Structure 1
Amino acid sequence: MCGIAGWVDLERDVRAEQAAARAMTGTMALRGPDAEGLWVREHVAFGHRRLAVIDLAGGAQPMVVEEDGREIAAITYSGELYNYRELRDELRDRGHRFRTESDTEVALRAYVEWGEDFVDLLNGMYAFGVWDVRREKLVLVRDRMGVKPLYYYRTADGAVLFASEPKAIFAHPLAEAVVDADGLRELFALVKTPGHGVYRGLREVIPGETVRVSRDGVHRRRYWRPSYAEHRDDLGTTVRTVRGLLDDIVARQTIADVPLCALLSGGLDSSAITALAHAALTARGEGPLRSFAVDFAGQAEHFTPDAFRPTPDAPYVHALAGHVGTTHQDIVLDAGDLMDPLDRAAVIDAADLPTFGGDIFTSLYLLFRAVREHSTVALSGEAADEVFGGYSWFHTPETVGADTFPWLVMAEADLTALDTGLQAELDVPGYRAQAYRDALAEVEHGDDPDPRNRRMREISYLHLTRFVRILLDRKDRMSMAHGLEVRVPYCDHRLVQYVYNTPWSMKTFDGREKSLLRAATADALPESVVQRVKSPYPVTQDPEYERALRETLERVATDSPAAPLLDPGLAGHPTRRSAEQALSLDVWMRREPVRVLV
């Protein structure tokens, strides 16, 4: 996994300014607790914080390749290549000699062999920078689904800074953390505009994109996105193909030189991954698999079913763990845990931005902290709903037919914490409307004449390129704050592309959500889990938590640095969501070196 940072200035010798590169790298010690590295040449500085997962002894970074005793390329790399063994064999056949067993060296030598087209050969989750010594060129690369983050920033004098996290970029004296009105729109819109970094001047490398920095300027190239292809398989073949892909994907993603576990919610998504991972480990003589679930104290007493969350997780978690035979542990949290001010502040520090999800973020942060005591790598069921069509709004006519992002129809996407004048100035509804039009314009339909398929393809595309990135970013920030690598099998681009082009009638052939995934994995699961209706990531229903939220808001409201942004009467009548928004803004503006311009 790891944290990466870099600074390229083609008009300046940066060798005398290593302190700036070291400061950038040092901000990400939590992402890479095992080692730190710095590589500096005339126009480039690469930093690296390492979380050792593959080739613990030999994978130190930044890594350099030489030819005839001269450096020709260097890399600072974060992530995992799941096909690195096959690529290494091919590169050896082409004359490359490897010094390590790491996937990092495979990525670097693949660039040396194939140039920028090497990205088409990679399977994994990754974000990295390659410096081509001979061409004085930086190439930034991000994986197809955006599992790993990567940001870049052009300074006033033309230099380019990049890093896994904004905080690393803003540790450099040439960068300034400013959020203007456009940044606030993005922050509150809940649409995750590709490339938008919220902070002024900050961009994300778009998933499936490369960014080249050279004397010719900065050039972006999209090498992958979900695209149209005719689906010719019948239903039986489609189900078998999905299962075959999942078996291969999970087997690859259970390879690690450190302890590995699964995150288990008792839903279809995580249960399928847990069952297949346990089978893969057992087949290699490496089982049993450890599994972890989050739960809340008193949840059995306080849980009230609703249309969004019809069932609690715990009974299904235990049914799956018993059926499969994992070594399972529940991580049980109470209101005090969720309201701990140090942990809530640590969540904001990890995210570099306000996190309006409240206890969802804090509980995930605390779950990952507990998991890290036992494992360095975890498998997650994230993204199955986006790939297979699991959310309720995929199946509700009013949301499918709405002229906006479907999750905005169902979710609480209001701005209730903000001052009404500021809300009018920001016009977030207008921002969302334009973002929606921009997203639809990207969708390819080919020669598909079926209006139902065309609309559901649009709905799927919106989720795969916008919504899932909100969840992947949350997962990455909360896990890497503890040096925990979380792998996401459902984000394998082969599975995404195949299911994306499967007709909607096949995706719902049994009249339910995620029909293909259920049919493909039912034999590995207990019947109760197979039949369970979708229930999203849990939130606490303990009334003590909401009381604590309101009491905390009353204490901070009068002297909050966020007060100019907030409804002046908020503390007297907050909803749970508005209280979470206000408290998150308060902590962010107290702790982060940010200027908010409105």
Structure 2
Amino acid sequence: MRRTDAARDEEDDVCGIAGWVGFDHDLRTQTRAVDAMTQTMACRGPDDEGTFVAPHAALGHRRLAIIDVEHGRQPMTYETPEGAVALVYSGEAYNFTELRAELAARGHRFVTDSDTEVVLHGYLEWGSAVAERLNGMFAFAVWDARDESLTLVRDRMGVKPLYYYETPDGVLFGSEPKAVLANPLARRRVTLDGLRELFAFVKTPGHAVWDGMAEVVPGTVVTLDRRGLRTSTYWRLETRPHTDSQEETVEHVRALLDDVVARQLVSDVPRCMLLSGGLDSSALTALAARQLAGQGEQVRSFAVDFVGQADNFVPDEMRGTPDAPYVHDVAALSGTEHRDIVLSSAELADPEVRRTVITARDLPAGLGDMDASLYLLFKAVRQHSTVALSGESADEVFGGYQQFFSPVAREADTFPWIALRTARRSDHDVATASMYEPGLRGRLDLQGYVKDSYRSALADVQPLEGETGLEARMREISHLHLTRFVRVLLDRKDRTSMATGLEVRVPFCDHRLVEYVYNAPWALKTYDGREKSLLRGATADVLPHSVVERVKSPYPSTQDPAYAAALRAQGRELLSQGDHAVFEIMDRDWLAHEVALSDNPTMFGRAGLERTLDLATWIEEYAPTLDLAG
């Protein structure tokens, strides 16, 4: 789906931004520091860079040029009689064309075809309220010399990242922590609270793990001027009555999906679909194929697989079927130009791949082969396409995970995903604690941290009048997934994709779809007695029967014993290095026990090995100051 000239450059700036505001500094003398901050995100924007410098503000930008290279450069400025207004912007506004027309009718004149300029003029017209009018994924910063203010804005669901770090006279900010940490004013310090956030898997809004750094909360505006820093919320999940019938609901979901896919397919560069063979990505692929067929185009699709996976697959409680047969069914029915990206255990366990992933994420996430395979998939896809559509977030929106259905998870007084994980391993709490350095275990108090975080998360849920019992509880569970769980996965996807220069779009994060489905009663979301009933009902007509009937299967993980063996070998090498700083966090004796195993370790043991190796690599790369006193 190619754009007309009038709609050019809708997504030319999915890049990286950075900046520094210092009211007691003359930042015109600090260009080297700002350039260093910007340079850290060269992977996010390999094609171009730019800097805006004023006495008390400096903005940097790295650009991934998708189209209109000459006219979409940033920072973008608008000169007013009272001073310049400068913008650095990362993301896409899918309703760019409508906004441009509205602004033109209000007297604004445009000199480029970029959505960046539309956002800039939108700020000139509406101030930070322009965010409320944008449909898309975005993070941007505006320096307004008219009142010497900085405005930071992040999209509703948190697809695009944005961090900031308060200084005595201002703030540092960037798309990624590495940009902030490149400034000498930022300390690379991690406290016990940072480790709790890293290990607990609860994604506290605003928490960035690095001490002194914060994440702009999705749907939030952060404003800084000489009076100080303030935050305001322009969007949150609101509870509303749902009055549509089952048939009307299914029809509306399909109409929204058709519109979202059409908007997000628009591109002047090669784009493709990330296809797992699950309902989510298959539905998007099928809808995209149908739309593009009308344009005489064929969809490209890519799937990740592992050497020997089809022959050696063994069902477990998480994954009942391999992906490949379903992937190929969808590719055949939709007529996609398909390619499997088949990865070996040697690639997945490669220490350099681990190093690249951790540098991309700035943190040791501990997801091991699932992080590595995602990065390697994106790296391979980037050789063929610049833009990819992903099925990420459908499980959170439509209710697809096992914890939505497990009585244990539903009834637990904690996050459902944590309850389910604990139920699967009765010794989970003991085993988890055993990984950590003995003196650290009690001070971490992960159970207390999770409990407090859960209480805070529940307090954000707005109940529906008259809603009780299961329906009320499922609203809570849906809210927890859409405001906590999904943000972990969106951050993972953004970092690993942008590390390869690939733009990944997430249609299921369209806020119109999220709002509508969130407010549909749980009985409607499961009207056929299965997970994601509304999505299945809305797209069954374009899917192969095998996919329509397939049970939810998570992102794949290799079962090859050679992968676990490689981890053990790397663990033995780590033990041989003497007093590595990782043993301030992880227990040396636990690691020695795990690497001594001659057979394939348990999944928990393997995850612990991945966590330890990730932490060691992170410490080597980032040299954090670990302040772990109680």
Which of 537, 546, 552 is 2:564 aligned to? 546
Q: Distance in 2 between matches of 1:297 and 1:376?
A: 26
Partner of 2:540: 522
Partner of 2:131: 119
Q: Distance in 2 between matches of 1:424 and 1:279?
A: 56
Q: Does 1:225 align with 2:236?
A: yes
Partner of 2:361: 351
Partner of 2:625: 595
- Counterparts of 1:56-205 in structure 2 under 5 Å? 56-67=69-80, 71-155=83-167, 157-205=168-216
Partner of 2:447: 429
Once the two structures are superposed, residues 247-294 of structure 1 have per-residue CA deviations (whole angstroms, 9 ceiling, x without a partner) of 000100011121111100000000011111222222334x21110000
Q: CA deviation at 1:409?
A: 1.6
Once the two structures are superposed, residues 88-123 of structure 1 have per-residue CA deviations (whole angstroms, 9 ceiling, x without a partner) of 000011111111111111111001001122111010
Partner of 2:600: none
Q: Distance in 2 between matches of 1:35 and 1:73?
A: 21
SS of equivalent residue, structure 2 residue 440: helix
Q: CA deviation at 1:415?
A: 4.7
Q: CA deviation at 1:11?
A: 2.4
- What letter is aligned with 1:573? H
SS of equivalent residue, structure 1 residue 573: helix
Q: Distance in 2 between matches of 1:3 and 1:173?
A: 20
Contact 1:417 1:579 in 2 (8 A): no
Partner of 1:281: 292
Q: Does 1:582 align with 2:626?
A: no
Q: Distance in 1 between matches of 2:252 and 2:27?
A: 51
Partner of 1:240: 251
Q: CA deviation at 1:416?
A: 4.4
Which of 44, 51, 55 is 1:42 aligned to? 55
SS of equivalent residue, structure 2 residue 30: helix
Q: CA deviation at 1:309?
A: 0.5
Once the two structures are superposed, residues 7-46 of structure 1 have per-residue CA deviations (whole angstroms, 9 ceiling, x without a partner) of 0112221101110100000000000011010010111000
Once the two structures are superposed, residues 182-236 of structure 1 have per-residue CA deviations (whole angstroms, 9 ceiling, x without a partner) of 1011000100000001000000000000000011210001111111001010110
Q: Distance in 2 between matches of 1:56 and 1:284?
A: 26
Contact 2:575 2:592 in 1 (8 A): no
Contact 1:417 1:581 in 2 (8 A): no
- What letter is aligned with 2:526? T
Q: CA deviation at 1:158?
A: 2.4
Q: Does 1:321 align with 2:331?
A: yes
Contact 1:145 1:208 in 2 (8 A): yes
Contact 2:164 2:214 in 1 (8 A): yes
Q: Does 1:477 align with 2:495?
A: yes
Partner of 1:337: 347
Q: Distance in 2 between matches of 1:446 and 1:309?
A: 35
TM-score normalised by L of structure 1: 0.98
Q: Distance in 1 between matches of 2:26 and 2:608?
A: 49
Once the two structures are superposed, residues 563-592 of structure 1 have per-residue CA deviations (whole angstroms, 9 ceiling, x without a partner) of 121112123332101111111111010111
Q: Does 1:564 align with 2:579?
A: no
Q: Which of structure 1's runs of 4+ aligned residues deviate more than 4 A?
A: none
Once the two structures are superposed, residues 281-315 of structure 1 have per-residue CA deviations (whole angstroms, 9 ceiling, x without a partner) of 22334x21110000000102221101210000000
SS of equivalent residue, structure 2 residue 34: helix
SS of equivalent residue, structure 1 residue 538: coil
SS of equivalent residue, structure 1 residue 224: coil
SS of equivalent residue, structure 1 residue 56: coil
Contact 1:64 1:71 in 2 (8 A): no
Contact 1:264 1:317 in 2 (8 A): yes
Once the two structures are superposed, residues 510-532 of structure 1 have per-residue CA deviations (whole angstroms, 9 ceiling, x without a partner) of 00000000000001111101110
Partner of 1:500: 518
- What letter is aligned with 1:58? H
Contact 1:54 1:102 in 2 (8 A): no
Partner of 2:43: 30
Contact 1:55 1:257 in 2 (8 A): no
Q: CA deviation at 1:53?
A: 2.5
Q: CA deviation at 1:65?
A: 1.5
Contact 1:3 1:164 in 2 (8 A): yes
Partner of 2:602: none
Contact 1:179 1:199 in 2 (8 A): yes
SS of equivalent residue, structure 1 residue 474: helix
Contact 2:48 2:63 in 1 (8 A): yes
- What letter is aligned with 2:478? S
Which of 469, 482, 488 is 1:464 aligned to? 482
SS of equivalent residue, structure 2 residue 412: coil
Q: CA deviation at 1:54?
A: 4.6
Once the two structures are superposed, residues 132-169 of structure 1 have per-residue CA deviations (whole angstroms, 9 ceiling, x without a partner) of 121111110000000000000012x2220000011110
Contact 1:147 1:476 in 2 (8 A): yes
Q: Distance in 1 between matches of 2:367 and 2:531?
A: 25
Unmatched runs of 5 consecutive residues or more in structure 1: none
- What letter is aligned with 1:140? L
Task: Check 1:71–1:281 CA distance in 2 against 1; reply closer, same or farther (3 A cut).
Answer: farther
Q: Distance in 2 between matches of 1:405 and 1:330?
A: 35
Which of 4, 7, 16 is 2:29 aligned to? 16
RMSD (CA atoms)? 1.2
- Counterparts of 1:439-458 in structure 2 under 5 Å? 439-458=457-476
Q: Distance in 2 between matches of 1:100 and 1:356?
A: 43
Q: Does 1:3 align with 2:21?
A: no
Q: Distance in 1 between matches of 2:356 and 2:497?
A: 12
Unmatched runs of 5 consecutive residues or more in structure 2: 1-13, 423-427, 595-604
Partner of 2:10: none
Once the two structures are superposed, residues 509-554 of structure 1 have per-residue CA deviations (whole angstroms, 9 ceiling, x without a partner) of 0000000000000011111011100000000000111111111101
Which of 541, 552, 556 is 1:534 aligned to? 552
Q: Distance in 1 between matches of 2:487 and 2:527?
A: 27
- What letter is aligned with 1:224? W
Percent of aligned pairs sharing the same letter: 57
SS of equivalent residue, structure 1 residue 210: strand
Q: Distance in 2 between matches of 1:343 and 1:306?
A: 27
- What letter is aligned with 2:502? L
Contact 1:188 1:415 in 2 (8 A): no
Contact 1:146 1:472 in 2 (8 A): yes
Once the two structures are superposed, residues 358-405 of structure 1 have per-residue CA deviations (whole angstroms, 9 ceiling, x without a partner) of 000000010000000011110000000000000011011110010000
Q: Distance in 1 between matches of 2:613 and 2:19?
A: 33
Which of 312, 319, 322 is 1:309 aligned to? 319
Q: CA deviation at 1:323?
A: 0.4
Task: Check 1:261–1:415 CA distance in 2 against 1; reply closer, same or farther (3 A cut).
Answer: farther
- What letter is aligned with 2:587? D
Q: Size of the alignment, in residue pairs?
A: 595
Task: Check 1:43–1:358 CA distance in 2 against 1; reply closer, same or farther (3 A cut).
Answer: same
TM-score normalised by L of structure 2: 0.93
